[in-house]
Amino acid sequence: MQRLAGILALCVLLGAGPSWAQSASNPFAGTTRWSASESWNSDKLVYTFQSNGQFRSSMWDGGKGQRTWTRNGNSLVMTWPRYDRVVYRGTIEGGEVRGSAVDRSGVSFGTFVLRLIQ
C-alpha cells in the first residue's frame, strides 16, 4: 500500500511538472507582478500583467488605470493610452524585460527594466 501511494505521488508530481515548466517559460501566461525601474523615475513601482493583454501600475490611478500590452516572441510593447500615449518597447530575457520608453512623437525619454517577482 505504501508503495502504491509513493507511485501515485510520483505520478502527480510528474504530471504537474510540464505545467510548471510552461509557466516558467512564459511569464505572461497568467497574472504576474513585475518590479519596475525607470531611468526618469525613482519611485518603487510594481506592474501587474494579466494574460488578457492588460496591465496596471501600483502608482498611477491607485493601480486601477488599465493599460495594454502585446508580446511577439521576445518583444514586449506596453501602451499607456491615458498617459499621453507613451509606449514602452522591450526585450524579454527570462524573468527580465529591458527597453526604452517613447513619447507620442516617437522620441525616447528613458530606459526601463522589469523584473519578475517570484
Residue 98 vs residue 19, higher pLDDT: 98
Residue 63 vs residue 93, higher pLDDT: 93
Task: Read off the pLDDT band of 89 (50, 70, 90).
Answer: very high
Sorted by where each starts, the structural domains of the chain and their CATH numbers stand as 27-116 (2.40.160.90)
Query: Given a cut of 90, is residue 95 above it in pLDDT?
Result: yes
Residue type at 68? T
C-alpha cell recorded at residue 21? 515548466
Which pLDDT value is given to residue 74? 94
Q: How many helices (H) and strands (E) does the chain have?
A: 1, 8
Pick from 40, 88, 89, 36: nearest CA to 63: 36
Q: How many Cα atoms sit within 13 Å of 64 on the Cβ side?
A: 2
